[in-house]
Every structure is written in structure tokens, then in C-alpha cells.
Amino acid sequence: MNTTEKKMAAAILRFEDDRVTGPDSLRVSRLPAADTGGKWEICGICDGIEPAVFNRLKSLLDAGKREEAWEGCLQYVLDNTAAVRSWIGSDAHPEIEFFLRDHYFNSGSKNAGKILQRALNDHGAGIAEDGIPGKQTRQTLQTVLAGAGERKLLDSLYERRKSFYRSCKQFPVFGKGWLRRCEDAYKLAVSLA
């Protein structure tokens, strides 16, 4: 894990739990009743979705191995969102990579794929918005990055992500936090350019 990847993963963990700033503040938290991920989480790693990972990290925290638990969380985020790097094809676009990795971790692979495809279509791509970034999506991504540039694509991703959140049935419950996260992710992405 290089320095940029570590920064990306740490930011995603902070977005999941804003009280966590590193190993010393890493904690187990109760999920809100409306959350379908289970009952407990460690920075978005939930007992109902990833019980083996959650239990391993909780055991490390219980044993006082905070640094090891933190490294485990960072690596989990990177492993969980690794597909994004394959969509981009390299580590040459950290701002796009981070913004998509954060949405992937927060909303899943298909939803991250859809906002990517919608953003590419904002630039005239004309590709299917099926949430599966296959060969055509990946080639189009390279073309748009070369033509429109990273910042214009990032701006499109930002707008598409906000639209996605507003379309979710749980927006009345979680929308304010989702939009704040989207804005924070955008700001951090811009700083990686």
C-alpha cells in the first residue's frame, strides 16, 4: 500500500466514522436502526455484511492491537474497492480513483459503475448505464480523460453521485449525511490532482 492509497483508505474510513482519525480512535459502533448492514460496525465494516472481517478486526481491537486493526481496515478498504483501479487501468488518476473508490465502498460496485457511466455519457459517450464497467466503459473512460480532462470528469462524477443519492428511497433518512460525504470526497479528490 503506497502513501496515496493509504490516504484514500484512511479518508474512506473517516467518512464512515468521523470520530476515527487513526488507530487510537478506532472503535466498534452500533449501526443506526435503519441501516441494513447488521448491528455493529468498525468504520463501515459491518457484522451483517462481512462478519468474518468484522470479527477479526474486533478481536484485534479487544486484544489491544490497534495498529494491526487499523492496517487491517485500510487494507480491507483497498481490497474491497480494487476493481476501481482496474476500471481506470493505472494509478495515474488518483482524484478519479479516490472518488469512485469512496462511492464503491459506500454504495457498492454497480452503483459506482453507474455513476461512472452516467458521467461518461455527460461527455457524449453514449454507453449503456448497466453498472458494469466493461471494455467499452474502460476505453471510453480513457478517451474522456484524454479529451475532457480529469477535473471535468470529476465534476460530472460529483453531480451524478449527488443525483444518485437523491434517487435513493432512504434519502429522507440518510440524505444529508450522504451529500456531506459526497462533498467531502469531492474536496479530497481535488486535492489529489
Q: pLDDT by residue (tens digit) across 137-185?
A: 999 999 999 888 899 999 999 999 999 999 999 999 899 999 999 999 9
The whole-angstrom separation of Cα 66 and Cα 80 is: 21
HSE-up (13 A, CA, CB side) for residue 117: 18
| Contacting residues for 34 by C-beta, under 8 A, at least 6 apart | 170, 173, 174
Q: What is the pLDDT of residues 95-138, one digit of tens each?
A: 999 999 999 999 999 999 999 999 999 999 899 999 999 999 99
pTM over 0.95: no
What's the grid cell of residue 90?
A: 493505472
